[in-house]
Amino acid sequence: MANTTLSQELIYKKAGTFILIPYTNGVPDKSKQYVEAGVVDTIRKTKATTTVDMNDGNDIYPAHTYVTNEVVGYDITLNTYSPKLDAMLHGYAYLTGTDADNSMETIVKHNIGTDALDLTDTPPISVDDVLQIFVSDHDGTVFTSTTSDPSAGQFKFDTSAKTVTFASADAGKEVLVDVIYQGTDVVQIQAPETPTLPVFQVVILGDVCSANESQQYRTVSTIDRVSVANVTLPNQSNQPGGAWTFSLNAKKPRSGHKAHDLKIEPIGETD
């Protein structure tokens, strides 16, 4: 491609894509990289510089200003949540299949009446010979388990039919049935007792254009070594798209590598 003068009036029209590459034995390992797979809201480069002045007793201005610390990084906001990325950012174990603990828990609201509560899909498991099903009402009254016909304040779980029955004296009450059961295809994120701070190389891929949108450019921004900070997970609510934000702060680069590198390539003109 012929040389093209780089416009000094560029605008970002897309958030871009990020790639996190974990370090293995002191080297970024592309075979273990995570390529952003969710909905990116914003990617913003940050820079904070700390300075100290040398005083000049014969002048009102400092003789020299020294940079004592500089933190470069990226603030990334996502509108979707990735369990694998969450585990990777924190250095947690991401367990699947037989490595994961498949016990799960759910709460079912049930209005006591003539029909039994069917737990065929989530039958309770036993732990130390205790069936893991617990029932209470909205007043905090705990129902007790029985193997006979239940009386008021009792429930019976039929291990064959996988159903829960209650006493007719409790008809009309709404209860909360807490069940621990054996799940399938469970993914587990497990934090170690002693946390570590994983280090990554981060690559930000972007598209920019000139202010008049006549020229398109591709950008590749790389920070050699970063660690994560200030993670804010999305709120659990009935409003989808809650923001998930995290910051990546630069660390000292490897010998022979720059702390931060930005490359811009012209890729075409807009008709």
pLDDT tens profile 213-262: 888 999 999 999 999 988 888 888 777 666 889 999 999 999 999 999 99
pTM for this one?
0.80
pLDDT score of 1: 47
Cβ proximity of 88 and 94 under 8 Å: yes
In sequence order, what are the residues at sequence separation of 6 or more whose Cβ sits closer than 8 angstroms to the Cβ of residue 187?
83, 94, 95, 96, 100
Q: Which two three-digit tokens encode residue 11?
A: 């605008």
User: What pLDDT was estimated at residue 268?
Assistant: 77
Please give the pLDDT value at position 270: 62
Confidence of residue 263 (pLDDT cuts 50, 70, 90): very high
What per-residue confidence (pLDDT) applies to 241? Answer: 62
Grade residue 36 by pLDDT with cuts at 50, 70 and 90: confident
Q: Phi/psi of residue 149, each to 5°? A: -60, 125
154 beta partners: 144
User: Whole-angstrom distance between the N-terminal and C-terminal Cα of the chain?
Assistant: 18
CB 209 within 8 A of CB 216: yes
pLDDT at 251: 93
127-169 tens-digit pLDDT? 998 999 999 999 989 999 999 999 999 999 999 999 999 999 9
The rounded distance, in Å, linking the Cα atoms of 184 and 91 is 25
Contact 21, 224 (CB under 8 A): no
Q: Which residue has the tokens 């005083």?
A: 55
Domain layout of the chain by residue ranges: 10-94+192-269, 103-182
Tokens for 252, please give them.
Answer: 């000292």
Spatial separation of the C-alpha atoms in residues 186 and 106, rounded to whole Å? 14
Examine the pLDDT at 271 and tell me if it is beyond 70.
no
Contact 199, 251 (CB under 8 A): yes
CA distance 116 to 122: 15
Sequence length of the chain is: 271
Question: Tens digit of pLDDT for each residue in 54-108?
Answer: 999 999 999 999 999 988 899 999 988 889 999 999 999 999 999 999 999 999 9
Q: What is the CA radius of gyration of the chain?
A: 29
Q: Residue 8: its pLDDT value, please?
A: 83
Cβ contacts of 234 within 8 Å, gap of 6 or more = 81, 242, 243, 244
Query: pLDDT at position 240, please?
Result: 66
H/E stretch holding 101 reads none
- Note whether 146 and 155 are within 8 A (CB): yes
Say yes or no to pLDDT of 269 above 90. no
86 or 270: whose pLDDT is higher? 86
pLDDT at 199 over 90: yes
pLDDT value, residue 242: 67
User: Is a pLDDT exceeding 70 seen at residue 42?
Assistant: yes
